[in-house]
Amino acid sequence: MTTYKGINGFAVQSVASDPSPLDEGQVWYNNASYAFKLAALTTTGTWAAGGNLGTARYMMGSAIQGTQTASLAFGGNPYTGVTESYNGTSWSPVSSLNTPRGRLAGAGTQTAALGFGGLTPLSSATESWSGSSWTSVNSLNRAVRNNGGIGTQTAAVSFGGVDNSDNTTHTENWNGTSWTTSGTFPFATSAGSGAGTQTAGLAFGLGTGSSPYNSNATLTYNGSTWTTVPATINTIRRSAAASGTQTAALFFGGITAAPANALSAATESYNGTAWTSTGSMTTARHGLGGSGTQTSALAFGGISPPTTAATEEFTGPGAPVTQTITTS
């Protein structure tokens, strides 16, 4: 008779608690819960609760190149300069922005971030984060709020947003010292999401300011030109968050078009060709912050309503999970 030991060369272990880390195909007996268990791979992405922000807010800047265990949130509505750092478990307050504001964009990492644009009043302010403090640097060429941001502290992009009159097609590149107008977005947009770098960027989840108010378009950026690609969003929304790269992005949360203006928990994954829906967030919200990668992302803050401090952590498909073995 074939046995587990005969196949694998060892018997099933009896343990008081489930092992960690897990290896795919690993089998054990949990003698505390009286159950045989198996380490299998997830087939869809899942969200789990993380540590709450210390200050609930929305429309904040975030270090979009940060990771799930090392992120940064700054500014936001109600208008504030509060900055918080995330270590994978909890948020801690650090030095505040010099110019308190909300509806701003962000780029960079937990220890080397950039915040730009915003409102209170309409702002062109740019600040650079050293890991311990903010320094005011050269401003955007145009004051704007609800702009999108991608890239790093020394090579960022600001696109779209609302100026004194309406949504804009304006794009600016940051070289670590100053901003330069570079390329024109194909249509006026605001509250858009982005991923990637200054020379390999991605924009999606775009508000248009007029009917139908949201666009399902996806665009790439090469440092000077925006190009619309065939891939379209499945759940059309704006004011969402994102993580990842030009060819491996994650898009989550947001708000649908008027008149419904429905909050969304939808999550979609982009492989460079198409968007695929994956596991939804626990809390539907818009105006949230995001960072990380396609398979290991972080979502925080936003309006659910009310304004929330909730943080969620995303684990992409293919991660080991514990399953209980049954006879059914």
For residue range 82-93, list pLDDT tens digits in order.
999 999 999 999
pLDDT interval class at 97 (50, 70, 90): very high
Please classify residue 139 by burial: count the beta carbons closer than 10 Å to its beta carbon, then call 0-12 exposed, 13-18 middle and 19+ buried: middle
Output the six-digit token pair for 168.
Answer: 């804009």
pLDDT at 9 > cutoff 70: no
Core vs surface per residue 239-268: b (16+ CB within 10 A) or e = bbbbbbbbebbbbbbbbbbeeeeebbbbbb
What's the pLDDT at 8? 53
Q: What is the pLDDT of residue 10?
A: 52
Query: Which of 22-26, 61-65, 156-160 shows the lowest per-residue confidence on average (mean pLDDT)?
Result: 22-26
* pLDDT value for 17: 87
Q: What are phi and psi of 120, to 5 degrees?
A: 130, 65
- pLDDT above 90 for 28: no
Over the chain, what is the mean pLDDT? 92
Query: Which of 1-15, 155-169, 173-187 is least confident?
Result: 1-15
Contact 177, 162 (CB under 8 A): no
pLDDT in tens, 115-129: 999 999 999 999 999
Q: What is the mean pLDDT of residues 295-322?
A: 92
Distances (CA, A) of 94 to 82, 132, 297: 8, 7, 22
Q: What percent of the chain has pLDDT over 70?
A: 95
Q: How far apart are CA 258 and CA 38, in angstroms?
A: 46
Q: What is the pLDDT of residue 6?
A: 53
Q: How far apart are CA 318 and CA 312, in angstroms?
A: 19
Name the pLDDT band for 25 (thresholds 50, 70, 90).
confident
What average pLDDT score do residues 155-170 get? 94
Q: List, in order of start, the domains of the chain with CATH numbers.
A: 4-41 (no CATH), 46-315 (2.120.10.80)
Per DSSP bridges, beta strands 275-278 and 214-215 are unpaired
CA–chain centroid gap for 131, Å, is 20
Q: Which two tokens stand for residue 243?
A: 């993580």
Burial 36-69 (b: 16+ CB within 10 A, else e): ebbbeeeeebbbeebbebebbbbbbbbbbbbbbe
Can you give the pLDDT at residue 3?
A: 52
pLDDT score of 35 more than 90 = no
pLDDT at site 148 = 98
Q: How far apart are the first and last CA of the chain?
A: 23
Q: Could you tell me which residues are beta bridge partners of residue 69?
A: none
The pLDDT of 60-77, averaged and rounded, is 98
pLDDT tens profile 232-269:
999 999 999 999 999 999 999 999 987 788 999 999 99
**Cα–Cα dist 259/232, whole Å:** 21
**pLDDT tops 70 at residue 189:** yes
Return the pLDDT at 121.
Answer: 94
Say what the pLDDT of residue 26 is: 81
